[in-house]
Amino acid sequence: MSLPVRALAAADAARIEQHLLRLSPADRSLRFAAGVVTDDTIRRYVAGLRFGTDAVLAMVDDGGDVVAFAHGCVYSVGKRSRVEVAFSVDAERRGKGLGTALMAEARRFAESIGAHSVLGMCLARNAPMRQIFANAGMSMTREDDEVHACCQLASRPRDDAARQAAPR
């Protein structure tokens, strides 16, 4: 049976950290699009997660371990918010649709906050990640060894939506 995707809280930071620390050096490099990703870098990254603002989503197994993790970083350009997503799945759990399920939930999160678009970035050699972006209907552009993916959402900016919903 597949595990549900759930939003995590600050109290879950240690298990997120353990999941990311389990990634091999090559996978850390793919996840963070960086050359060498040290344990300290991962700890700093987890310490900086904005629970309650960003999408911090995971699948957690029966033992309480995070086996798949998604971070959707929310930021604004003008009045429009965007969500930039990144994913990781425990090596032995890959190829079973977990990354795809995280992508779908991250998109739902973006829609729920009225975001204008969902963005993603991966190294060009990251075939599974590119496939997930493609399956999600995201358009992709290549810049050197990176692929940038984007998908505009039908939702309106939150301010506009609130104004139109307000009683006159």
Ligand X SMILES: CC(C)(COP(=O)(O)OP(=O)(O)OC[C@H]1O[C@@H](n2cnc3c(N)ncnc32)[C@H](O)[C@@H]1OP(=O)(O)O)[C@@H](O)C(=O)NCCC(=O)NCCS
- Does residue 86 interact with ligand X by CB under 6 A? yes
The DSSP secondary structure of 39-100, one letter per residue, reads HHHHHHHHHT--BTTBEEEEEE-TTS-EEEEEEEEEEEETTEEEEEEEEEE-GGGTTSSHHH
Residues with Cβ < 8 Å from 97, sequence gap 6 or more? 2
- Does residue 114 interact with ligand X by CB under 6 A? no
Q: What angle do CA 12, 96, 59 make, to 5 degrees?
A: 10
- Does residue 88 interact with ligand X by CB under 6 A? yes
- Does residue 34 interact with ligand X by CB under 6 A? no
Q: Which two tokens stand for residue 6?
A: 């759930």
Considering only the stretches 1-9, 71-79, 89-97, 138-146, report the one whose residues sit in contact with ligand X under the rule CB under 6 A: 89-97
- The residues in 125-154 that bind ligand X, with binding defined as CB under 6 A, are 126-129, 131-132, 135
Nearer to ligand X, 94 or 156 (CB): 94
The binding site for ligand X (CB under 6 A) comprises 27, 30-31, 86-89, 94-100, 120, 122, 126-129, 131-132, 135
